Chain A
Amino acid sequence: MTKRYWNAYQKEIAEDHYFYERSCIRQTFFPGSEAAFLRIMREELHKDIKDEANQHTCTGIGYHSDIVPLETTMTVVARLFSLMQEDGYTNYVPSCVTSFGIFSEMIDIWEHQPEMLEKTRENLYKATGREFAIPSNLAHPSDIIYKFREELKKNMKYQLVNRFTGKPLRVVEHVGCHYAKIFPERGIGNAEFPYVLAGMIESWGGEVVDYPERRHCCGFGFRHYLLQENRGYSIANSKKKFESMEPYEPDFIVCNCPGCTMFMDKWQYTIAEMENKTYDKEGYGIPVLTYEEMAGLLLGYDPWELGLQIHQVQAENLMNKIGIKYNPDEKYRGVNGKILPKPERPSVLKQ
């Protein structure tokens, strides 16, 4: 019975030969994470993964903000699948959790309503002369890192352990809503017990913090964040999460959705400015990492190539706890070592 129960929480993830689709939000706020993912795939796991120059947005944010119709998003998705087919791939890996939800939804509609699939084929052909195939495997990059977490562990230079106390780091994992809440069967661990990030944390030596608002949305809200006057919705939801996790004193937060990573990082700054409040004891804030940043740090990648200097909550204290070696002089240098001016300091959040 137990075995059958857990079978329902697994998903099939392709072994190799992936078509990577980049994310608008991730490229904007965490370009180093996409670079780290490709590096991990190619250099650590020796996998074949295609980074196609002609790819583009899936329109997901516009779709969920009701400015792009279903049929348009569906046909744009079909064009992306057409690029995958053209390159000779069948395993589709969208970097963004919103995109992952969009692709899952479109495939689900096509499976249940073949006439919609036919209409999409017709629309795509009429618009572009293209044909497309539905991917044989759809996996989020966090699924792939999860799948190969033990292989990656062998290459890791560090563990999620506090070098001063010898105890596991306490990690809050936040899984993006559209990873498994819309189509639970497409997420590892389903919607109620998502294990995709928790599995990485446990394998790499850390301890998962189980706090009351663990599954609550970060508060993006699509149109709510896009409209300045509605951003109170967004920050209030993140605040609810911070208040709920604060008593557990997490060492850091890790997310698999680019929007969540950005909001949970930036809203800590905003709350500190508005209410003179931080959610750690020392006033630095709780660092928020992508799963590629977490994996990259443990693999010994340069934190400034990963992009940790463009997070508002800085990660030096965390790196010191783990014992990660880094060069502080490189932090404010651009490509080719160019010395850049330093950013302004926030008035509350320590840097």
Chain B
Amino acid sequence: MGQLYDMLTEDARFSESLKACMNCGICTAICPAAEFFDYDPRQICDMVQRKDENEIETLLRSETIWLCGQCMSCKARCPRGNAPGEVITILRKYAQKLGYYDEKIHEQQYRISATQGRHILETGYCVHPDIVYPELHPEQGPIWKWYTENIADLAPKMGANYHGEGPGALRKIHQKNLDEIRKIYEITGGLDLMEKLTEE
């Protein structure tokens, strides 16, 4: 067994995600990413379970593992109970850990981490209307633009507590909660990953 394969098996999710794939290809047949991109989860599972060090390194360095959309349709259909989408998550984790990604993927992960990742720590939300800027989201359409321009008047009508104290949708998340989230990030490696991803 190779060093890279052993490393993948150390992840807590690995043992439940890949158990003797029989290469039937149902995962690829059902996969929305396989339909849109040049992408084949069956092949990825096969490459991992062959335990060939060079193949796994090629996979870790490839753009392929970044094409999965994480819908996990593959998990529902696999007759062996495997979760190719979860194998992808583990491969991505180690690709980032080892720095095995090209400039394009690095720049993409930088962008996600520098925007959404930072937003989680600063506001306590993954998504919030204040950061879904209509100019960056033309697909959201004119009603989204109208909503964001009038949110202080519209959100309370729908029962939200926009930037308010206490419970409710879109409330201000109190600093003591943000401090605890940051501390969790610090202790569990979340901050280290953010720092790595946002390195210039």
Contacts and interface: CB of A to CB of B under 8 A. Distances in A.
Same complex = yes
A32 B159 contact: yes
Interface string A4-43: 0000000000000000001011111101101110110000
Contact of B158 (A35, A65, A109): A35
> Which label, helix, strand, loop or mixed, suits the secondary structure of the B interface?
helix
Given A182-B76, A340-B153, 17 more contacts: A51-B167, A56-B181, A59-B120, A62-B120, A67-B194, A67-B197, A69-B93, A109-B16, A127-B188, A184-B76, A221-B33, A221-B71, A233-B33, A237-B32, A237-B69, A266-B144, A310-B143
A231 interface: yes
B92 interface: yes
Contact of A305 (B83, B89, B139, B159): B159
Interface string B127-149: 11100100010111111111100
Interface string A173-193: 000011011101000000110
A226 B116 contact: yes
Q: Give the one of B112, B132, B158 with max A CB within 10 A.
A: B158
Q: Closest 7 interchain pairs by CB?
A: A334-B153, A35-B159, A221-B69, A343-B146, A72-B190, A32-B158, A191-B76
Interface in B99-134: 108-109, 111-113, 115-117, 120, 124-129, 132
Contacts of A219: 32, 69
Interface in A43-58: 51-57
A188 to B, nearest CB: 15
A101 to B, nearest CB: 8
B170 A31 contact: yes
Interface string B43-71: 00000000000000000000000100111
Contacts of A3: none
Q: Give the one of B92, B145, B159 with max A CB within 10 A.
A: B159
By size class, the interface of chain A is: 35 or more
Contacts of A153: none
A66 B185 contact: no
Contacts of B109: 66-67
B173 interface: yes
Interface of B: 11-13, 16, 32-33, 35-37, 66, 69-73, 75-76, 83, 89, 92-93, 96, 108-109, 111-113, 115-117, 120, 124-129, 132, 136, 138-147, 150, 152-160, 165-171, 173-174, 176-178, 180-181, 183-190, 193-194, 197
B75 A182 contact: yes
A127 B184 contact: yes
Contacts of A307: 158
A311 B143 contact: yes
A217 B160 CA distance: 29
B116 A266 contact: no
A300 interface: no
Contacts of A52: 167
Interface string A103-118: 0000011001100100
Interface in A229-276: 231-233, 235-237, 240, 266-267, 269-270
A61 interface: yes
Q: Give the one of B66, B72, B197 with max A CB within 10 A.
A: B72
A221 B174 contact: no
B126 A62 contact: yes
A88 interface: no
24 contacts: A26-B169, A39-B159, A53-B174, A56-B124, A57-B120, A59-B126, A65-B112, A66-B93, A70-B93, A127-B183, A127-B188, A128-B184, A130-B180, A177-B71, A181-B75, A181-B76, A216-B73, A266-B139, A266-B140, A267-B139, A310-B158, A335-B154, A342-B146, A343-B147
Contacts of A79: 180-181, 184
B8 to A, nearest CB: 13
A344 B142 contact: yes
B35 to A, nearest CB: 8
Given A31-B155, A220-B69, A222-B69, A53 B171 contact: yes
A332 to B, nearest CB: 9
A37 B100 CA distance: 45
Given A24-B125, A61-B126, A72-B190, A340 B154 contact: yes
